Amino acid sequence: MPVTLLMMPPQNDRTREWGDRLGAAHPDLEVIVPETMEGAEQAIATADAAFGTIPPALLARAQKLRWLQAPQAAPPAGYYYRELIEHPVVVTNFREIYNDHIGAHVMAFVLAFARGLHVYLPQQQRREWKKLPPDTGVVHLPEATALSSASAGSAARWLGSRARSACGSSASMNGVLRRRRASPNCIARTLSTGSCRKPISSF
């Protein structure tokens, strides 16, 4: 029998497109895209997997449900209610879909801090002219030796590869992630969460 995937309402053009594409790419997958909650209620009993948010009343009827894909990387408060937590279904979320955006955003801050923009911009808005002594307030990135991230996930790996381009091959990337033990590419060391209490100069 085919595996049944239920796309929970409400629907929009994107979720309808996802349903069509999934069905075309996997003919052995039966994709149900109901427009109303009544339609979802009729399909939930036979669904093996679902995408979206399932209310407690529908979850009680989900006898075959093995996998639930949350519609966000960080679902809103209340998404994981007690009945869902106690249900045997495996719940996953959108991980690693904003890696390039996060890495680029963090790298922009690194460049801004290195040039002292966090000091100069407020001064400019206050119309203040406070020239710093020569060779102060600016970090020459090719001379940087370490960059630490509070994560060692995919976004940090993206950041690590870009940091190497900006800082040179002498710079090392340190990452902190409780779930990861081996250091991924572009990250010199993966540190424990307790290492966050140490000064960066100790790395």
- CA neighbours within 13 Å on the CB side: how many for 121? 6
Spell out the alpha helix ranges (H) of 62-116. 82-86, 99-114
* pLDDT bucket at 158, cuts 50 / 70 / 90: low
On whether both 118 and 68 belong to a single domain, the answer is no
Q: What pTM value is reported for the model?
A: 0.59
pLDDT digits (tens, 9 = 90+) for 69-107: 999 888 899 999 999 999 999 999 887 666 567 777 777
Tell which of 43, 70, 92 closes a domain: 92
Question: Tell me, what DSSP letter sits at residue 43?
Answer: H
Range of the domain at 39: 3-92
Closest C-alpha to 49, from 20, 72, 22: 22
What's the pLDDT at 203?
46
Identify the top-confidence range among 59-68, 93-102, 119-128, 194-203: 59-68
Q: How many domains does the chain have?
A: 2
pLDDT tens-digit profile of 6-32? 999 999 999 999 999 999 999 999 999
Q: Are residues 12 and 87 in the same domain?
A: yes
Domain boundary among 72, 92, 112: 92
Residues listed for the chain: 203
Instruction: Give Dmax over CA atoms of the chain in angstroms.
Output: 75
Given 56, 73, 92, the domain boundary residue is 92
113 vs 100, more confident: 113
Mean pLDDT on 59-77: 92
Q: Which candidate, 118, 112, 119, 117, places its Cα nearest to that of 141?
A: 112
